[in-house]
Amino acid sequence: MLNCRNRAFEHYFVEAFMHGNWASEESKAFSKTLQEQCPNAGGGPLSRAVSKLPVGGTLYHEVLCNHDDSAVVLYLQAPSPGLTDTALCMVLEQMLAAPFFNSLRTEQQLGYIVGTGYVPHNQHPGMAFYIQSPQCSPKHLLDAMTDFLFQQLNEIEFYRFYWPTIQQNLIKQLEERDLTLSMKSQRLWVSLGTQDLGFNRNAKLAEKVKDLTFEEIQDFAHQLAKRERCGELVLFSKGKFEAISTQEKPTINSISQFKQEIPYY
C-alpha cells in the first residue's frame, strides 16, 4: 500500500483556490506552504472535454433499472460553448418548459414526473426533456415528446408575445447577487475550474440575452426542428414495457467504447 501511494504521488496536478475573509499575508503564506508541500505537482489538469454528439441523427442508450416505470430523457446538445448558443439554449428551454409540462403532464397525463431543464456540461450548453411514467412505454413517451417539441419549434412565432417577459426573468436570474459568502465561493470555484478567469460569465450571458432578437430565436428553433443544429441523445429505461427498438439506429452499448470513439469539443 505504501509503494502504491508513493507512486500515485510521484506526479500530480494541484489547483487551489482561497476566498473569504483572509488577509493578504495569510493568502501568500498559504500559497508558499502549498508549493513547499507539493514538490511533484508538475502534472496537467484533468481533461474537461465534452463528447461531441453527431448532428442530424439521434443516439440511443438504454439504462438498465429494476423499476416498473418507464422513463425517457431527450438531451439536445448545443453546437458550441459560446455565449450566443448558451443564451439561445437557456431562452428556448424557458420558453418550452411550461407548455411542455402542461401538454404532456396536465393534458395527456403521460406520467407524474414531467419536465425540462437547461443542462450544461463543463459550460457546454444543452437542454433536457424528460418523463417518468407508470402507464406508457418508452416509445410512446419519446414519440409524444418529439411530436410536441418539433411542432413547437416549427410554430415558435406563437411565443413572440411572451419573449419580453422571458427575457427579463432570465436576465434577473443571471444578474442575481450571491446571497452568502459560501454561494460566492462556490460560483468562483466553478469559474476557476472552467477557466473563466474573469469570473464574469453570468454578466456576459446577461448582456447576450439583452442583445438577442426574437428573429435569432426563431432561426435557432427552426434549425433545431430540421435537426441541423444540435446533437441528440435519448436515454431510456423500459420498466415493465417493451424497449424502444434500436435496430439500424445509432446505439451506445458500451459507454467506455463510446468515449474512446466519439470526437470531443
- 139-180 per-position pLDDT tens digit: 999 999 999 999 999 999 999 999 999 999 999 999 999 999
pLDDT digits (tens, 9 = 90+) for 215-247: 999 999 999 999 999 999 999 999 999 999 998
Q: In the predicted model, what is the mean pLDDT of the chain?
A: 93
Amino acid at 122: N
pLDDT of residue 7: 81
Distance CA 255, CA 61 (A): 9
Q: What is the pLDDT of residues 38-97, one digit of tens each?
A: 888 888 887 889 999 999 989 999 999 999 999 999 999 999 999 999 999 999 999 999
Closest C-alpha to 159, from 221, 84, 110, 107: 221
Q: How much is the pLDDT for 188? A: 92
In percent, how much of the chain has pLDDT > 70? 100
| Long-range CB contacts (within 8 A, 24+) of 80-83 | 80/265, 81/50, 81/123, 81/124, 81/125, 81/265, 83/204, 83/205, 83/208
pLDDT at residue number 40: 86
Alpha carbons 233 and 51: distance in angstroms, whole number = 11
